[in-house]
Homo-oligomer: A and B are copies of this chain.
């Protein structure tokens, strides 16, 4: 299994975590993003995720490389699902393995913050009465300030 993936298939947290080499590892932090039934007061029916796939995959690989630079002993895997998802489905699974827990938590948190900053994936929300594209951050992998913010949130 690849460390990073953009896939239409349902995500399996156990498989993503198991894809990491655990030699020397004492802590694994797994993060799952789930489709929520409410957003900004709207009752959500389902989501559609779309990606610019080759660039999204590069984005995930970049996040893995950034994490390796920050926490050399951490091993990170990130799988993001696209396509139609129901309430409660996992849209993203991150697994960070490390000799010690502080770095595992930090890398896992860093990865989800960075995904929301730089990975070209978009969700369209279908709610009761309409649908809307959700727009978050302007993607810019060269924005050092954004990266520092993700690090601050992760390590603090």
- A96 shortest CB reach to chain B, Å: 10
Chosen A-B contacts, 16 in total, with CB atoms closer than 8 Å, are A13-B30, A22-B34, A24-B36, A24-B37, A25-B34, A26-B36, A27-B31, A28-B31, A28-B34, A29-B29, A29-B31, A30-B30, A31-B101, A36-B99, A105-B105, A105-B108
Contact partners of A33 in chain B: CB under 8 A: 26-27, 101
The answer, yes or no, to whether A143 is at the interface (CB within 8 Å) is: no
What's the Cα separation between A25 and B17 when bound, in Å? 21
**Number of copies of this protein chain within its complex:** 2
- A125 shortest CB reach to chain B, Å: 13
Asked if residues B27 and A32 are in contact (CB atoms below 8 Å), the reply is: yes
Interfacial residues, chain A to chain B (CB-CB below 8 A): 12-14, 17, 22-38, 88, 99, 101, 104-105, 108-109, 112, 156
- A121 shortest CB reach to chain B, Å: 16
Asked if residues A17 and B13 are in contact (CB atoms below 8 Å), the reply is: yes
